[in-house]
Chain A
Amino acid sequence: EVQLLESGGGLVQPGGSLRLSCAVSGFTLSTSAMSWVRQTPGKGLEWVSVTMGGGGSTYYADSVEGRFTISRDNSQNMVYLQMTSLRAEDTAIYYCAKDTISGVVVVGYEYWGQGTRVTVSS
């Protein structure tokens, strides 16, 4: 059974940092693309970042480029999101999700964690 479990959310001041973790099980992380997706009442669902399987590339939304860093530890079955220079607009529920592939194309996310809430406020 595929399981994703996020942790690390909380309250942080503007300009601060936070590291989110996602523990995965039930599949081979090393060959899987993994994403972070966030959700706010105002902006809805927003893709944040993806780390490719096989030691491949990472990509970021323009809104977090240069401030957030996605990484993984395949040996520990963990995916991380290091967030720095946090802003009020980063306040959201952050979900870890496994990219679903049809053929050779990513088509969406069949597996999601339960989410971890990040609040950026003074």
Chain B
Amino acid sequence: EVVLTQSPATLSLSPGESATLSCRASQTVANYLAWYQQKPGQAPRLLIYDASTRATGIPARFSGSGSGTDFTLTISSLEPEDFAVYYCQESSYWPRITFGPGTKVDSK
């Protein structure tokens, strides 16, 4: 089973700042890595898949990079609506898809 580790657990930033979130896999997942945003009381929202492809309707300020075991989600300039929890997810061993524990981006 692939274990995903996300860091940091919490990121405190101000609107307009850049956010860099990390996801590390316990074994290679090639580029089968996705990122989600979740706000309280809502389902997760797919942001990025295939490590770097933005999902439909996702703003260009969200970008993903990485391959193998190390991945990064970058939010180039935080908007007020971007404060949320972000999860990574791998699908290299589909159907047994696994999720990371999440990184909370909150307002400083």
Contacts and interface: CB of A to CB of B under 8 A. Distances in A.
B60 interface: no
B101 A47 contact: no
A109 B32 contact: no
A61 B43 contact: no
A113 B43 contact: yes
A114 interface: yes
B46 A47 contact: no
B13 interface: no
B46 A110 contact: yes
Given A44-B102, A112-B43, A106 B94 contact: yes
A68 interface: no
Interface stretch (B17-25, B50-58, B71-79): B50-58
Contacts of A11: none
B32 A44 contact: no
Interface residues of B, number: 25
Interface of A: 35, 44-47, 50, 59, 61, 95, 100, 102, 105-110, 112-115
Contact of A108 (B49, B101, B102): B49
B89 interface: yes
Nearest to B89: A108
A4 to B, nearest CB: 9
Contacts of A112: 43-45
Contacts of B69: none
B96 interface: yes
B59 interface: no
B91 A108 contact: yes
Interface in B57-105: 87, 89, 91, 94-102
Nearest to A61: B96
Nearest 9 pairs of A and B residues by beta carbon? A112-B43, A108-B34, A45-B99, A107-B49, A59-B95, A47-B97, A110-B46, A50-B95, A106-B94
